[in-house]
Amino acid sequence: LGNIGSTLSRCVSRRHHQHQSVEVAVPRTPASAARRIRRHLQLPVQRWGACSVSESELEALKRPDFSNWDWPEEKLAVFLRAMFHDLRLTGRLGIGDGALDNFLVQVYQSYNRVPFHNFQHCFMVTQMVYCLVCADQLWLRVPRLELLCLLTAAACHDLDHPGLSNHWQRSAGTGLSACYGPEATLERHHLATAMSLVGRGLLSGLTAQEFRYARRRIARLILATDLARHSAVMAEFQEFFAEARLERSQGIEPLAVMDPERFAGKAKSQCGFIGGVALPMNSALARVLPCATECLLAPVQQQLRHYTDLLASTGSQQAQQAGGSELFSSN
Ligand SMILES: [Zn+2]
């Protein structure tokens, strides 16, 4: 959780790994996949009332270095609930406590027992969004409904992830691919699952107009998490900065998307991902949200330095083992 760069890096490493794990048996239909790996744990929602969040815990949740690994999942769900309450997303928007609790239980149950895209990942991403909102006091500039969409989309962005990437879905011709098509297969599935959850309860207190707006916003946010859309998302950022760019008569560097398939070693793939995706994305974000410089950009830059050093030392070791300097100089 230290920074979103490493979270995303791990996300991509995992996907890269999945591409190679072709021996994994994958059910042909989404329904059977979901049943096979659906968690059977129940969150004892009736105990949540007694499970309060202290002031110091709430303060810790606002920090980018909050560690989710120190808490049981039940408590993480209670933390999610505290974030919605702290941002005053319930009462004023017509969302009852019961509707929020039911929504969070359904979110919890809709994440599968997979190595990465599980409930812990859902929590990490939502907590980082909450951290940014708080650090920049975004409620002073952004309507509560927008914040509700942000937090809801973060919590829902990987719902019912089967643990195998879009690339796999397409190559193996899975049921999910048949349902949602070959492009952004998983993101469309996360979105469809999210819509079935929010439509039933969480957003039912909104006016018809607010409800339509929220659905559109959440859809856009979840679909934007498809890494294949990185270039398009960056193009939107560039559009956003066009005015400032004109003023300064200075262009933004074109951005290359990293292709994880091209890279073999972890350090090299981390350097490629962080340099090509995480760094430009977070640099752009930091220009909109000044707080992101400290929360996100600095840790991402630190990670890049770490992996660059690692890559350099790995390269020199390999060069020594190879008995020459050609290998290293080719990096
Ligand atoms: Zn994710």
| Digit-coded pLDDT (tens) for 177-236 | 999 999 999 999 999 999 999 976 899 889 999 999 999 999 999 999 888 777 766 766
Position 76 scores a pLDDT of 93
Give the residue carrying structure tokens 């330095």.
305
- Every domain of the chain and the residues it spans: 1-225, 227-331
Alpha-carbon dihedral 133, 136, 140, 144, rounded to 10 degrees: -10
CA distances (Å), origin 138, targets 10, 79, 143, 288, 329:
28, 20, 9, 11, 47
Q: Any idea what DSSP says for residue 201?
A: I
As given in the structure block, the two tokens for residue 122 are: 């859902």
Task: Tell which wins on pLDDT, 325 or 234.
Answer: 234
Domain 1-225 class?
A: mainly alpha
Spacing, Cα 243 to ligand 1 middle (Å): 31
The annotated binding site is made up of 121, 157-158
CA distances (Å), origin 245, targets 179, 223, 232, 283:
42, 27, 18, 15
List the one residue out of 278, 186, 189 whose CA is nearest residue 226.
186
Neighbours of ion ligand 1 (CB under 5 A): 158
pTM of the model: 0.71
Spacing, Cα 222 to ligand 1 middle (Å): 9
Is the predicted pLDDT of residue 251 greater than 80, yes or no?
A: no
Q: Which of 117, 161, 189, 190 is catalytic?
A: 117
Spacing, Cα 120 to ligand 1 middle (Å): 10
Spacing, Cα 118 to ligand 1 middle (Å): 9
3-state secondary structure of 20: helix
Angle at which helices 4-20 and 298-321 cross, to 10°: 50
Is 306 a residue of the active site? no
AA identity, residue 135: A
